[in-house]
Amino acid sequence: MSTTVISQSSTAYQSRPHSALNRLKGFKPVLWLVPFALFFYLFQLAPMAWVFINSFIYEEAFSLENYIEVLDSAFMLQAFGNSLWLAVWSSLFGLVIATLLVASLRRVDSKIRDGVIAFTNMSSNFSGVPLAFAFIIILGTNGAITLLLKQHGLLGNFDLYGQWGLLIIYVYFQIPLAVLLLYPAFDALSDDWQAAASLLGAKTWQYWSKIALPVLSPALLGTFIILIANAIGAYASVYALTSGNYNVITIRIASLVSGDLFLEPNLAAAISVVLMAMLAFITVINQWLISKSYAGKKSHAKR
C-alpha cells in the first residue's frame, strides 16, 4: 500500500514539470506575435491615434474647427471629388480588364500563363516617379505615341497632365493589382460547370451571368474596394506627373505637412480622418454586399 502511494506521488511530481513545459510551449505562438504586435502598434495604431487626436486641435485647443474648415472649403471638396472620381472609374476599368484577362489566362498554355503572371508581378511594382516618367515619354506633350497619333490626326486635345491622362495612369497600375487578387479566386470555377451549362442549352453569356459571376462576386467586390483604397492613396505618380498642380486629396495632405509656405498638420489630420471615414464606410458597404452574396448562395444551395 505504501509503495503504491509513493509511486503515485512520484509520478505526480514528475508530471508537474511536463505540464509547466507544455504551458510554456503553448505561449510560444504568442511570443512570436510580440514583434508583429509591436510594429503594428508603432506604425499603424499609434499614427492613427495621433492623427485622430490632433485633428481636433485648433490653436492649441480642442475644437471641430478643422473639420468645419474642410467641409466648408470648396477647394477641399473638389479634391475629395477628384480623388473619388479617379478611384471609382479606374477601379471599375481595372477590374473589368483584369477579369477578362484572368478569365483568358485559364484557357491558354501554362507557359504563357506563367509569363503573364510574372510580367504582372513586375508591373505591379512599377509605380511612382518611374511610372510617371515613362508615361511622359510615351504620352506626354512631346511623347513618342502622342506625336505619332497627331501626325495621323488620331489624337485631339488629349492632355496627359489633366483628368483623363491621370485616369489612364490610374487604370494602368490598377490592372496588375486586380489580376494578382483575382487570379486565385478563379480557381473556384470548375470547367465542368460550363460544360454542364452548355449541355443544358445555356449560352456563354448566360453561364457567366448566372453561374460564374455570382460565384466570383465576393472576390470581385473585395478587389474593387482594395482598388479604390489603392487609388485614393496614390501620391507619387500624381505629384511627379503634375508637380502638385492637380487637386487630389493626397496632394492637399502633403502640401499641409511639407509645404514651403504654410504648415497645418492639424488640418491635414482632419482631412485624413475624413478620408479614413470614407474608406471605412465603403468597406462596411462592401462587407454587407459580400454577406448578402454568401447568404444568397447558401439559400440557393439549400434549394
Q: Which residues of 180-198 are buried (b: 16+ CB within 10 A; e: fewer)?
A: bbbbebbeebeeeebeebe
For 222-242, the pLDDT digits (tens) are 889 889 988 998 888 888 888
For 93-107, the pLDDT digits (tens) are 999 999 999 888 877
| Beta pairing partners, 57 | 62
Provide CATH code, domain 73-263. Answer: 1.10.3720.10
**What's the pLDDT band for 261 if we cut at 50, 70, 90?**
low
Q: How far apart are CA 196 and CA 204, in angstroms?
A: 12
Q: How far apart are CA 110 and CA 252, in angstroms?
A: 46
Give the residue-averaged pLDDT of 70-82. 91
pTM: 0.79
Residue 13: is its pLDDT beyond 50? no
Q: Is the CA virtual torsion 189, 194, 197, 203 positive or negative? A: positive
* 70-77 LR contacts (CB < 8 Å, sep 24+): 70/267, 70/270, 70/271, 70/274, 71/274, 75/247, 75/252, 76/249, 76/252, 76/271
Q: How far apart are CA 86 and CA 201, in angstroms?
A: 41
Nearest to 84 by CA among 290, 250, 263: 250
Residue 299: is its pLDDT beyond 60? no
197-206, 223-232, 283-292: which has the highest mean pLDDT?
223-232
Q: Kindly write down the DSSP assignment for every residue of 211-232, as one continuous string.
A: IIHHHHHHHHHHHHHHHHHHHH
Q: Where are the domains of the chain?
A: 73-263
Nearest to 176 by CA among 133, 116, 236: 116
Pick the more confident residue, 104 or 5: 104
Nearest to 219 by CA among 122, 297, 278: 297
**What are phi and psi for residue 62, nearest 5 degrees?**
-75, 130
Nearest to 275 by CA among 14, 46, 32, 48: 48
Write down the pLDDT at residue 5.
Answer: 45
